[in-house]
Structure 1
Amino acid sequence: MAATRKPALIAAIVVAVLAATAAWVVLARGPGERHRVGLFTTLPILWNEAGGVGEMLASKDGPHWARAALAEEGPVTALDTLTPDTLRGVERLVLAQPRALSPDENVALDNWVRGGGEVLLFADPMLTEDSRFPLGDRRRPEGTVLLSPILKRWGLELQFDENQPFGKRSVAAQGTAIPVNLPGRFVVLKPAPCKVDGRALVARCDVGNGRVLAVADADLLSRDDPDGAGQAALAALMARAFTD
């Protein structure tokens, strides 16, 4: 009898997860939608950190504030891989502390950008936000972003000063106050169609027919954002990264 109930229970959980996801997507499709947004991230933005499906469904934590902010651009699609198929139809792409890309993913992403895609990238060399999962757990966000091949292809190198002090602070970039903690800095590999500002915290590159706006820190995407500084910075960066 127990063996009969187990598949039914699993099926019910899967249905509940799909229903919750579908409900969020519907809510994300507001009247002002114009673009399909892809999100490729290891950060708990679309779903809260949980040890399993049941815990995720039972969680009393509210949704991450960035989820609604991204949905302002249009319907958001979570991407597990970057391939020509998964990127087809995506007009704007947010890479938020992504995992390391495979060679095929590097090629697919580069081709997509050169074809006219727009990317907002958060590449943090030393992520400081806490996680409930221990080091080595695949569910834990990437502590150090590893994107050297694609960054070099676009004309950038991400550097990190190990001697800088720990602590939250704000860096101004073109009038936008960006919260950071142990940020990196971008160096332009000449010749490359890239410009940096905000003490090299932010880089913008024209790549073929597309563009990349990269930020060398991901602290502004921390769930804890009591003064709204992260939300304000994300809105301003999306406005710079994405053209209408």
Structure 2
Amino acid sequence: MPQLRRIPKAGLVGVVAGVIALAVVFWPGTSDPEPEVPVERHKLALMTSLPIYWPEGSDIASLVDKHSEAPWVRETLERRYEITPLDSLTGNEGEPAPIKQFERLVIAQPRGLSPADNEGLDAWVREGGKLLYVLDPMLTGHYSVALSDSNHPTAVGLIPPVILRWGMTLRFDDFQPLELREADYGKGTLPVQVAGEVILLEEFEGLSDDQSAARGNCTILGDGIAAQCSVGAG
């Protein structure tokens, strides 16, 4: 496993800015960078370990306080979306899957997807769901909690089986420069630091028969920090 490196907080800006920029560019009806709050916003489910919905280091009192300051990325997204945070995509056995209530979902640096979540996410996308999956293979930035603390954002993002099933993986260069740089994501640029590269699985190690049948129609964008896919109806 690559050695964890502490890098200036600008790295965090790149990850969360990516959530906003990619949601704006790739989802219809969200092209205005500074829109007024619409009469009816799209419902959006969010699964993340990052301080996007709740402020970093929030306690119970601040979570229930309606007047507590929200993270800037949440405020920006809420101009377009009505956000619901999720801990699980599929919920408890015998209960309706939470993901079924939504047409749009952002998964950003999650703590991990269970086997049921992987299976449920695959089915949901194939049925027409719109997914933005943001993953940082080596999370940078400083946080108020220790790396060993369970509240710390996921430091090393791992490709879940469902992404491999769609025909993609992530390549990471341990020896890349530490400097913050601008990278092309296909329709603009984003600040990145110690970034991974999205690649098509067939270009890396070949596909099994099952993967060939299940893979999506994917295109690598820009400098390889993003990809756009059609999987079934989603």
1:184 to 196, 205, 228: 196
For 1:98-109, list aligned pairs within 5 A: 98-109=110-121
Query: Cα 1:175–1:108, aligned 2, differ >3 Å: closer, same or farther?
Result: closer
Distance 2:124 2:53 in 1: 23
Q: State the partner residue of 1:150.
A: 162
Q: State the partner residue of 1:203.
A: 227
1:69 to 67, 72, 76: 76
2:186 to 174, 188, 212: 174
Distance 1:108 1:85 in 2: 8
AA partner of residue 198 (structure 1)? G
AA partner of residue 141 (structure 2)? E
8 Å contact from structure 1 (residues 168, 181) kept in 2: yes
8 Å contact from structure 2 (residues 113, 160) kept in 1: no
8 Å contact from structure 1 (residues 148, 157) kept in 2: no
Q: State the partner residue of 1:4.
A: none
2:87 to 63, 67, 80: 80
Normalization by structure 1: what TM-score? 0.68
Which runs of 5 or more residues in structure 1 are unaligned?
1-29, 211-244
Structure 1 stretches (4+) deviating beyond 6 angstroms?
none
Higher mean alpha-carbon deviation, 81-90 vs 40-49, is at 81-90
Count of residues in Structure 1 that have an aligned counterpart in Structure 2 = 181
8 Å contact from structure 1 (residues 169, 180) kept in 2: yes
1:118 to 120, 130, 140: 130
Query: Cα 1:36–1:188, aligned 2, differ >3 Å: closer, same or farther?
Result: same
AA partner of residue 108 (structure 1)? G
8 Å contact from structure 1 (residues 40, 80) kept in 2: yes
Query: Cα 1:56–1:73, aligned 2, differ >3 Å: closer, same or farther?
Result: closer
Between structures 1 and 2, the one with greater helix share? 1
Distance 1:88 1:138 in 2: 28
Normalization by structure 2: what TM-score? 0.71
Distance 1:148 1:54 in 2: 34
Deviations along 1:119-149, one digit per CA (max 9) or x if unpaired, are 1111100000211111221111001112331
Q: Which has the higher contact order (CA 8 A, sep 6+)?
A: 2
Deviations along 1:36-94, one digit per CA (max 9) or x if unpaired, are 10010000111112263236678x98422211222233211000101152112211111
Query: Cα 1:186–1:49, aligned 2, differ >3 Å: closer, same or farther?
Result: same
Distance 1:148 1:38 in 2: 18
Which runs of 5 or more residues in structure 2 are unaligned?
1-36, 91-95, 203-211
Pick the structure with greater CA Rg: 1
